[in-house]
Amino acid sequence: MWSFFSRDSSKDFGFEIGEVVPGFEQRSVWTLHKGKKKGTNEEVSVFVFDIKSGSETQLDVAKSAVKRLKTLRHPSVLTYLDSLESDKVLYLATEYVEPLAFHLEKLKINDAQKDLYTAWGIFQITRALSFLNNDGNLRHNNVNIWSIFVNTAGEWKLGGVEYVGNTQDNFGSIKIIPSLEIYDPPEKSDPNKQRQITKCSSDMWGLGCLIWEVFNGPLQQQSSLKNLERIPKQLSPLYCELVGANPASRPNPADIITRCRKLGGYFKNDLVDTLLFLEEIQIKDKNEKNRFFSNLTPHLDNFPDNICKHKILPQLITAFEYGDAGSAVLAPMFKLGRLLDEIDYQKKIVPCVVKLFASNDRATRSRLLMQLEHFIGHLQSVTVNDQIFPQVANGFMDTNPTIREQTVKSVIHLAPKLNYNNLNVEVLRHFARLQAKDDQGGIRTNTTVCLGKIAQHLHPQIRQKVLISAFVRAMRDPFPPARNAGVLALAATQQYYLLSEVSTRILPALCQLTMDPEKSVRDSVFRTIKGFLGKLEKVSEDPSLRESMEADVNTATPSLSNAAATWAGWAVTAVTAKFYRSQSDTAKSMTPMASKILSKPASLEQPSSSSLSTTTSSVTSMTSLEHEEGSRGNESVSDYDYDNWGEENWGDMETGGQMQSSSGSGGGGGTSDPTSPPSGSAPARTTDGWDNEEWGSLEEEPESETGVTSPSETWNTSEFNPVPETHQDHSQSVVNRKLTNSGWNDTDFEPMDDVSNHNGANSKLEEAKKKREERKLMRQKELEARRASRGTTGPMKLGTKKI
């Protein structure tokens, strides 16, 4: 309810008078009201004096306060905005504040924060008194908890200037409010001590009273000042000096600041140091600023929220926009941005974010990408697609591996807000190039991980065309973590594949890794194969389940029901709790080594009950590979031409029979960096997207191919091209086979080459074929026996042991 003061005499006043703040009128000649500035609705405080009901003396005191406050400008003095005097009322508008006594009553912060906060508040009042006594030659004569106000930023402001007088006046003003007489110093009523009064002794007594009230509440009787129980021990010696009976022994406020700002002093703490540095930031050099902002973030949790939000954050934004603070300011700025509501965030933080993404400074871009998860939720989709993503996309082709890797990881957070073209065309185009050509094994691994994590956001048709080809390519990478990522990604995204693709494309590709040199890869492969076979077996037993198992293939929003019970649930946690830590992440802390074997995920050690179910719904957010990799100082860093990447042959990860195992075990052969894809000489292509050919099929590209595949042929191909058989080193992670044009058939498996004897006789092939036929007949008989035994007990659960 707006009071009657908003009418008549206030028409010419630029502020609307709001509700009264009860309780303050008993300690002042003023009545305190909440108010708003007309036009902007900015909150203000309005001190109102009713001329008709007040005495002439009170009116003189009120007028003196308006005149005095108008001329006092200091960061720790209440800020004057406007005033108006009419025949009925006197208005004084200031910044929005509340009395300190009320503020402390409802203050909800922990003890550690309160200690820092009260030190900062007392410091501010001491600084204001030093300004009055030493610079202005004035005495306040009314320092107590009722003359101190607190603004929205948590800053303590000195008000109550009704009794301010000259320092030469040793007698001081007579307080017309009886309740304020309790704060008069003892020398005021003792003529013998009049000659010992100094220019600051009266205000220092008031400062002592204020300190006592901050820790004990409003003073009721002067004798209570002797009780030091709640006064901090660090502050007790100073407090005793302030409330000493001898006026001459009370210290000067400037000396108090000097003493308490020394190491171990009451004013020497992180909050005071931080706020003073921000006040003086314009005179600090660049190195001091960088060091300050780099160390600021950990301290912010110990600071009160109102100070962080209204005092520190605006200073950080100003330092970024108009200073040379650099990228170091980003971490604390984004951390404090979480305290803002959505409107303020859009107004204050988002413009800075957009400006930052256009920066050419690598350090700034790197810090932005690392902090992306903290502010992406506040960005509008239009802003992300039009202003941010074009800048982020440049990082895919950066010559610095760290920037490339962080750009890949950032897609996890950007994907939900990207439009069709940016996500399904641009992102996938960059992912295809990075997975095929990047010389950093960690980046290739994380590209696969990221693709699996964003699969839920891809268009169903694009997803169906891309995922299998991409993950199969990863499974043929010479870098073990990349192969494992491909396997686990297939498992974690199993609900997106048609069962026909599972049987003709996925399982054949997985089977090739059952002899992988790395045990961790083999473990993942066998478990994934069991899961996919379980789905196929269930559909074989009950064909009506096929529709439900393929329900998510063509849906934009996959099912989340029973996610924890899916057979691929193990892959969701095994594929990745964190992204693969590449050289850029660990070079400073890891011991150099040629390669590091991928550790077996904990979820693979014991089969869980969730792996027995074959429901199609899956947790849609993948986690990432947690693997440590040693420094690889011999890795080269290369850049890729943006205009020509599409014309390069993506080919397979191993071309021309030159692939080497990353484990370093096995027979002879050339040695190469296990994290770098070997270069091939296959011809260039003209297509851009991810299809079966661009990602490479399950067999090697024929070296004799010289024609250029047209885009239509590439995107619509449905058959594998026959490839001449080549002999590989024993340490290869993938054994290439000859495939027929008709694909993988039940009875058309070609015999594997004996890699230990490249010149084996045909008799061995015949023998292997004969044994394979025998095993096939045995499996058929066992299957028929199991089906017969399940006639009464129902279908056998996947993973149960046959007794």
Could you tell me if 443 and 434 are in contact, meaning their C-beta atoms sit under 8 angstroms apart?
A: yes
Domain range list for the chain: 4-95, 100-267, 419-746, 757-788
CATH superfamily of the 100-267 domain: Transferase(Phosphotransferase) domain 1 (1.10.510.10)
Integer Cα distance of 500 and 316 in angstroms: 57
- For range 549-564, the mean pLDDT: 64
Query: Residue 2 pLDDT > 70, yes or no?
Result: no
**DSSP at 158:** E
Of 173-187, 369-383, 512-526, 594-608, the range with the highest mean pLDDT is 512-526
- For range 564-589, the mean pLDDT: 48
Query: Residue 794 pLDDT > 70, yes or no?
Result: no
Q: What are the distances in angstroms from CA 141 to CA 138, 147, 188?
A: 9, 10, 11
Query: Residue 371 pLDDT > 90, yes or no?
Result: no
DSSP of 30-58: SEEEEEEETTT--EEEEEEEETTTS-HHH
Full-model pTM:
0.64
Query: Residue 121 pLDDT > 50, yes or no?
Result: yes
Per-residue confidence band for 443, with pLDDT thresholds at 50, 70 and 90: very high
- For range 150-165, the mean pLDDT: 95
What pLDDT does 170 receive? 62
Integer Cα distance of 307 and 507 in angstroms: 59
Which of 122-131, 239-248, 263-272, 361-370 is predicted with the least confidence, judged by mean pLDDT? 361-370
What pLDDT does 556 receive? 74
What pLDDT does 10 receive? 61
Query: Residue 677 pLDDT > 70, yes or no?
Result: no
Integer Cα distance of 735 and 732 in angstroms: 7
CATH superfamily of the 4-95 domain: Phosphorylase Kinase; domain 1 (3.30.200.20)
Dihedral pair phi/psi, residue 153, rounded to 5°: -85, 5
Q: What confidence tens digit (pLDDT) does each residue in 735-747 have?
A: 333 333 333 333 3
Q: What confidence tens digit (pLDDT) does each residue in 660-672 have?
A: 333 333 333 333 3
DSSP of 604-663: GTS--GGGG---S---SS-----------TT-------TTTGGGS----SS-TT----SS
Could you tell me if 282 and 276 are in contact, meaning their C-beta atoms sit under 8 angstroms apart?
A: no
CA angle 598, 600, 605 (to 5 degrees): 175
Q: In 3-state terms, what secondary structure has residue 139?
A: strand
Of the two residues 35 and 646, the one the predictor is more confident about is: 35
Phi-psi region of 41 (alpha: psi -120 to 50; beta: other; left: phi over 0): left
* Burial category of 778 from C-beta neighbours within 10 Å (exposed 0-12, middle 13-18, buried 19 and up): exposed
Q: How many Cα atoms occupy the beta-carbon half-sphere of 570 within 13 Å?
A: 25
What pLDDT does 195 receive? 79
Q: In 3-state terms, what secondary structure has residue 230?
A: coil
Q: Quickly count: other Cβ atoms within 10 Å of residue 443's Cβ.
A: 25
Query: Residue 104 pLDDT > 90, yes or no?
Result: yes
Task: Please give the structure tokens belonging to residue 513.
Answer: 């890794």
Question: To the nearest whole percent, how much of the chain has pLDDT over 70?
Answer: 70
